[in-house]
Every structure is written in C-alpha cells, then in structure tokens.
Amino acid sequence: MNRDAALKLDALLLGVRYSLDCAQRYMKPYLSEEDYKKYKYAMARSAGELIDIANDLYKKFPDIFPDELK
C-alpha cells in the first residue's frame, strides 16, 4: 500500500468509527438497557478493530498520524 492509499483508508476508517458512534447514540432510547449494552459492546469491539487497522497504517506511514492524537 502506498501513502496516498493509506491516507484515504484512514479517513474512511474514521468515518466508519464516527458512524458507529452515531448509531450507538441513536439506538439508546429505542432499546432495553440489556440490549443497548449488548449492542454498544459489539460496536465498541468493532471500533477497536478499526483502530488496530489505523495503528498499523501509522506504523507503516508515521507521517500520517493525526496531529490531534499526538
């Protein structure tokens, strides 16, 4: 993978993580507490996996690491 592709993928992963966060907030009033916790946990695991991918990109291309995370 080249740097430009890594930058694009990082941006896409950020968008997916944002969408997961929005979905989590949206579903809360419509679910029982038990179901909400179950789905929230699944979404958090998913976001964690996406962060692992982003971290691999940052290892390969340290210059794309977001300034706001430094």
In a domain, 68, yes or no: no
* pLDDT tens track for 47-68: 999 999 999 999 999 999 988 8
**Does position 69 have pLDDT exceeding 90, yes or no?**
no
Looking at the chain, the whole-number percentage of residues with pLDDT higher than 90 is 93
Q: Classify residue 37: in a domain, yes or no.
A: yes
Instruction: Quick: pLDDT tens for 10-34.
Output: 999 999 999 999 999 999 999 999 9
66, part of any domain? no
Task: Determine the 3-state secondary structure of 13 from DSSP.
Answer: helix
Domain assignment present for residue 36? The answer is yes
Residue 49 covered by a domain: yes
Domain-located, residue 67 = no
Percentages helix, strand, coil for the chain (3-state, rounded to 5) are 90, 0, 10
- What is the number of domains present in the chain? 1
